[in-house]
Amino acid sequence: MSEEASPRQRTRVLLADANPMRSQLICDALRRRSEFSVALCKLNSDELLGPIRAGAVDVVLINADGGSEFGRRDLAIIHHIHLSHPEAHMILLVDSYDRQSTLDAFRSGVQGIFTFSESKFRDLCKCIHVVREGQVWANSVQLRYLLDLVKRVPSLRVVGAKGNDLLTPREQQVVALVADGMSNRQVAVELGLREHTVKTYLFRIFEKLGISSRVELVLYAMNDGNRCTAEWMPGA
């Protein structure tokens, strides 16, 4: 029989959920484990930031609204917390996910996605411990999504008459994605940038290449660009 963890040894968990009944069930289950100290709060930034600022939390569990596929509201809360407290360890609890929602969640700042439909409760306990130690929790499918993203970010090299690069590596990536038919918003999501930042990049690219439209950029890329593998550069 294992010894009961002392208050100092316990992992302090803050559970935020829009569904009171579900959150209470999760909370009760975790409280039966001596290694956890669990508190509940509403799923909004103000309720979450108080304990985090006070240093009273080791891991934050965010149960997606209704427990179903999460949306912009959940991600906006996560992103807000991550920007103000990047050291916060956050886990998103979901029933289901797809490629885009997985990528959006990790880009927003979570370190783990726990899927109720695929895992048992003891796995949630392990997930909490793993994320507290600064590691990532994701299943094999979610990891494949992340690896595919890293591998498939393209670049398109544009050179001058003397063979010199006309664009920076980031600008080359933007050109390649625009040439693939992506909108500014899609390019922003793909590269982890703000949409306004993508517009700024395009303005600079137009100036450097002496063009004035996306159509001209695509034609320029087709005629004068050479695809190559680019090093991944996270958005500013």
Long-range contacts of residues 160-168, Cβ cutoff 8 Å, at least 24 apart? 166/208, 166/209, 167/205, 167/208, 167/209
pLDDT score, position 196: 94
The answer to whether residue 149 scores a pLDDT higher than 90 is no
pLDDT score, position 192: 83
**What is the model's pTM?**
0.63
Cα torsion 83, 84, 90, 96: sign: negative
User: What is the pLDDT of the chain when averaged over all its residues?
Assistant: 81
The answer to whether residue 24 scores a pLDDT higher than 70 is yes
Cβ distance 16 to 42 under 8 Å? Answer: yes
Domain boundaries, the chain: 11-147, 153-229
**For the ranges 7-16, 23-32, 66-75, which has the lowest average pLDDT?**
66-75
Enter the CATH code of domain 153-229: 1.10.10.10
The answer to whether residue 126 scores a pLDDT higher than 50 is yes
The answer to whether residue 64 scores a pLDDT higher than 70 is yes
pLDDT (average), residues 130-134: 93
**For the ranges 28-32, 71-75, 115-119, which has the lowest average pLDDT?**
71-75
The answer to whether residue 11 scores a pLDDT higher than 60 is yes
- The 3-class SS string of 88-150 reads CCEEEEECCCCHHHHHHHHHHCCCEEEECCCCCHHHHHHHHHHHHCCCCECCHHHHHHHHHHH
Of 234 and 72, the structure prediction assigns the larger pLDDT to 72
pLDDT (average), residues 192-197: 90
pLDDT band at 232 (very low <50, low <70, confident <90, very high): very low
Q: Matching CATH topology for 11-147 and 153-229?
A: no
Enter the CATH code of domain 11-147: 3.40.50.2300
Element holding 227 (H helix, E strand): strand 225-229
pLDDT band at 38 (very low <50, low <70, confident <90, very high): very high
150-193: pLDDT as tens digits: 555 555 566 666 666 778 888 888 888 887 778 888 888 888 88
The answer to whether residue 39 scores a pLDDT higher than 90 is yes
CA atoms within 13 A on the CB side of 210: 2
pLDDT band at 67 (very low <50, low <70, confident <90, very high): very low
pLDDT score, position 228: 46
pLDDT (average), residues 114-127: 91
pLDDT (average), residues 65-87: 75
**Alpha carbon 16 to its chain's center:** 18
Angstrom distance (rounded) from CA 217 to CA 151: 24
